[in-house]
Copies of this chain bind each other. A is one copy, B any other.
Amino acid sequence: MTAERRRATIEDVASSAGVSRQTVSRAMNGKGEISPATRDRVLDAARRLNYRPSRFARGLVRQQVTTIGLLVTDLANPYFPQLASAVLATAEQRGWQVVVSATHGDADRELDLVDNLADQVDALVGYLAADDDAIAEHVRGLPVVLLQRDPDSTRFGAVAIDLESGTRQAVEHLVGAGHRDIAMLGSEGPDDVADVRRDAFRAVVRELGLDPARCPVHPCAQSVPDGERAAAAVLTAYPETTALFAYSDLIAVGAIRAAVREGRQVPGSCAVVGFDGLPLGELVTPALTTVHIDTWRLGELAVDQVARQLGEDNSGAAAVVVPRLLVRGSG
C-alpha cells in the first residue's frame, strides 16, 4: 500500500463512517438535525482521515468567502507594514482573508500581479502606478480601491492623502520658527514631470509669501543614503539654507546626518522636517519632526470602501486622510 497522496474527500469520510455525504456535511458544519452519536462517529472518521473540506467546493456552493488582494511596493519598505497591518486587522474583523503581493516597484510586473490577483480575489486594494484604462483591462470588473490617489483622478475607488495640507503644516511651522530659506528634498524627477509633492511645496511657499528663489527643490530618491547625498548637495549649493523639508522620513533621516556632518546643529542651525511619521523617526537623534500620515486609517478606509463596493455596507465616509504635523526634536 503506497502512502496516501490524495486528500480525503467527503465521500471518503462518508463511507468510512457509514453514512451519506450530507450527513458528513451536517457534522462538519455543526448543523442540527443530526444525532450526537452519528456526529461523533463522523467527526472521528474525519479526524482519522485528516479530512478538510475543499475550499473550492465549499466556495462554489456557498458564495460568501471574501478574499481581498493587497498590492504594495515592498513590505520591507518601512512605510508599508503599518498599512498592511491595518488592512489585515480591518479585513479580519469582517471575516475576510487578505492575499498580499509586492510589486517591488516594477511597473511591468505590477499588471502581471494584478492579473494573478484578479483570478483569486474578490477585490483589490493597493498602490497602482498604471492608469485607469490599463488597470481596467486587467481587473475585468473587480472592485478596486487605489491607495494614496485623489478620488477625482480615477474612476476606481480611492483613498487620498491630503499632501498639500501636510506640506502647509510643515512649512508654516518652519516659517513660524523664523525660517525663510527652506529647501525641499525629494521631488521625484525633473521640473517638467508632474509631481504633486513639489507642486504643493511651491504653492505653499508662494502662499506664505516666501521667496521661491530661496526655497529650492532638489530631486532625491527614497532612501537614507540618497537623502544624505541630496542634503549635502543642497547645503553646499545653498549655504544660507536653514531648514530642510524632506518628502519622506527616510530622506529626512539622511538629511539629519548630512547636516550634522556638515557641521550644522539640528535643529539649531538647520531644522529638518520629514514626511510619513514612521516609527523610526523616534529612534534618530534628534528625534525627527515630521508630517504624520495615519496609515492605519488609510488601510481602514480602503477596506471600508471595498465593503461598500461589494455592496455589503453603505456608510459613506470621505476617503481622505489628512496628515498631522508631529513636532519632535529636529525642527
Contact = CB atoms under 8 A, between A and B. Distances in A.
Interface of A: 5, 46-47, 50-60, 65, 67, 74-76, 78, 80-82, 84-85, 88-89, 92, 97-102, 116, 118-120, 140-142, 224, 253, 279-280, 282-285, 311
12 contacts: A50-B140, A51-B141, A52-B118, A52-B141, A52-B142, A67-B120, A75-B85, A78-B279, A81-B81, A92-B102, A97-B99, A99-B100
Contact of A84 (B55, B60, B75, B142): B75
Contacts of A55: 56, 59, 119-120
B101 A99 contact: no
B84 A100 contact: yes
A88 B116 contact: no
Given A52-B140, A141-B52, A75 B88 contact: yes
Contact of A60 (B57, B75, B283): B57
B100 A88 contact: yes
A5 B284 contact: no
A195 B76 CA distance: 29
A59 B53 CA distance: 13
A224 B281 CA distance: 13
Nearest to A285: B285
A98 B69 CA distance: 10
A102 B97 CA distance: 11
Contacts of A50: 140-141
A47 B88 CA distance: 31
Given A120-B55, A120-B65, A99 B99 contact: yes
A266 B76 CA distance: 29
Q: Which of A55, A282, A311 has the most CB of B within 10 A?
A: A55
B311 A5 contact: yes
Contacts of A88: 75, 100-102
Given A52-B142, A54-B60, A311-B5, A116 B99 contact: no
Given A56-B58, A224-B283, 14 more contacts: A50-B141, A53-B119, A55-B59, A56-B56, A75-B84, A76-B82, A78-B81, A81-B81, A88-B100, A88-B101, A92-B101, A99-B100, A280-B280, A283-B283
Contact of A116 (B56, B97, B100): B97
Nearest to A137: B47
A319 to B, nearest CB: 22
B81 A75 contact: yes
B82 A52 contact: no
- 4 A-B pairs with least C-beta separation: A50-B141, A56-B59, A56-B60, A76-B85
Given A56-B60, A60-B56, A85 B99 contact: no
Nearest to A113: B92
A82 B76 CA distance: 5
A280 B98 CA distance: 27
A297 to B, nearest CB: 14
